[in-house]
Chains A and B, each alone.
Chain A
């Protein structure tokens, strides 16, 4: 019974390159959330997606960031033209229904992006 799977676990990019982070939710989960965590800080909400739909992207930067959750395959968080300030841990969480009805979100182990 695999949990939320994120890859890559570690990603190094140079300024101006693109970063793609993938998240496979738990089996049967159709709700995916992305969070960003800077060192020594809490998790900041970025975006909430349900299969093929973006439900809430109020935490996403207006430029360079995008997210998708296609009908088939993992959810993708894409960061174009990365800058050093994008260096952070990006966590994905999934839920079978929209919280708070379920009681919890299940988090992955995160993808740590380092921008040189």
Chain B
């Protein structure tokens, strides 16, 4: 079936470095993608979204890149901070319901 998956389960980065979290999706009909951050014991928190007619979108310290040719989505976090430590999920939708990937744990080393 259709799925959204992440390449790496855990990413460890040094504080201040940039982080790149990757995501592969298989549903070519998906037209909307979202990145969520989930801290331990909490619900997912919206970070940034992008529509399929775009290939890049920037927010505060975060950038999402979409490559529809290879069905790849990435989240870039600039100047990673300890507060960025969390699990990051990509999600996709084309029917109104979000389909989540497995998640990547981001660990920020001081």
Contacts and interface: CB of A to CB of B under 8 A. Distances in A.
A91 B32 contact: no
Interface residues of A, number: 24
A43 B100 contact: yes
Contact of A109 (B43, B49, B95, B96): B43
A100 B96 contact: yes
Contacts of B42: 109-110
A41 B44 CA distance: 13
Interface string A36-76: 00000111110010000000100100000000000000000
Interface residues of B, number: 23
B102 A41 contact: yes
Contact of A108 (B34, B43, B96, B98): B43
A104 B49 contact: yes
Nearest to A95: B96
A106 B36 CA distance: 11
B45 A107 contact: yes
B43 A45 contact: no
Interface in B33-83: 34, 36, 41-46, 49, 51
Interface of A: 4, 33, 35, 41-45, 48, 56, 59, 91, 93, 98-100, 103-110
Interface of B: 31-32, 34, 36, 41-46, 49, 51, 89, 93, 95-103
21 contacts: A4-B43, A35-B100, A41-B102, A42-B89, A42-B100, A43-B89, A43-B98, A43-B100, A45-B99, A48-B96, A48-B97, A59-B97, A93-B43, A98-B96, A99-B97, A100-B93, A104-B34, A106-B46, A108-B43, A109-B42, A110-B42
